[in-house]
Amino acid sequence: MTVKEDQIFSMNPPKYDKIEDMAMMTHLHEPAVLYNLKERYAAWMIYTYSGLFCVTVNPYKWLPVYNPEVVLAYRGKKRQEAPPHIFSISDNAYQFMLTDRENQSILITGESGAGKTVNTKRVIQYFATIAASGDKKKEDANPLLEAFGNAKTVRNDNSSRFVSYLLEKSRVTFQLKAERSYHIFYQIMSNKKPELIGREDH
C-alpha cells in the first residue's frame, strides 16, 4: 500500500493505549483520537475525557454503569480519582455550585442518535440520587416526557424531538419513511399501558 507522506501521523507510545484523558497524549491528532475511542469502546469504556470535555460513544445497549452504587462511587470525587463518566461531570458541577455559590451548566451536544437524551437523563438521575427527594419528581417525569416528546427516527429508536422542550408539532401529522410519530400514540393503540386510556362511567 502506498500513502502520501502528509497522511502519515506519529503513533503514541503503548502507555497511552486506552488513555482516559486524550489531552495527555504525546501526539494529539484525529487518527490518534479515533483509535483511542475505538479501543476504549471495544472494552465498553464509553466515556473518555479530552481536556475539559467528556466524549461519549453511544453503545446502543444497556450497560451496568448507571446503578445507584455507581452514583455514590462518584460523589465527592475529583475528576482524576475515578474513571471518566457523566456522573463525574455532574458531580464536578455540583461541587462547584456548592463551593462557588454560582449557577453551573452542562452542555450535552451531538448528532441525532449520539446519546444526548440518555446522558441528560443520567445527569438528572445523578442529581435526583444525591439531592432531596423533591428532585425525584423530575426523574419520575421522564417516562411521561419521553412518551409525548420522543419518536423513532432513522438513526435512533428513542430520539428526543424536543427543541428546548418545545414540541416538534409537524411530527404529529407527518413522518419520514422508516420514522414514527410520538411514542404515546403507539402506547395507547397497543393497550400495553391501559392506564393511559381514560374510561367513562356509565
pLDDT at 73 over 90: yes
The reply to whether 50 sits in an annotated binding site is no
Per-domain residue ranges for the chain? Answer: 5-196
Q: Give 202's pLDDT tier (boundaries 50, 70, 90).
A: very low
The reply to whether 115 sits in an annotated binding site is yes
Structure-block grid coordinates of residue 107: 452542555
For residues 22-40, average pLDDT: 94
Q: Give 201's pLDDT tier (boundaries 50, 70, 90).
A: very low
Q: In which element (H, E) is residue 78 found?
A: none
Cβ(18)–Cβ(45) below 8 Å: yes
The reply to whether 111 sits in an annotated binding site is yes
Q: Give 158's pLDDT tier (boundaries 50, 70, 90).
A: confident
The mean predicted confidence, pLDDT, of the chain is: 82
pLDDT at 128: 83
The reply to whether 173 sits in an annotated binding site is no
Per-residue pLDDT reduced to its tens digit, 171-180: 777 788 888 8
The reply to whether 38 sits in an annotated binding site is no
Cα–Cα distance measured from residue 93 to residue 79, given in angstroms and rounded to the nearest whole number: 11
pLDDT at 112 over 50: yes
For residues 141-152, average pLDDT: 69
| Number of Cβ atoms within 10 Å of the Cβ of 144 | 11
pLDDT at 198: 58
> By 3-state DSSP, what share of the chain in percent is helix, strand and coil, each rounded to 5?
45, 10, 45
Cα–Cα distance measured from residue 124 to residue 185, given in angstroms and rounded to the nearest whole number: 26
5-196 is a CATH 3.30.1540.20 domain = no
Cα–Cα distance measured from residue 59 to residue 40, given in angstroms and rounded to the nearest whole number: 11
The reply to whether 110 sits in an annotated binding site is yes
pTM: 0.67
The reply to whether 81 sits in an annotated binding site is no
The reply to whether 164 sits in an annotated binding site is no
Give the number of residues written for the chain.
Answer: 202
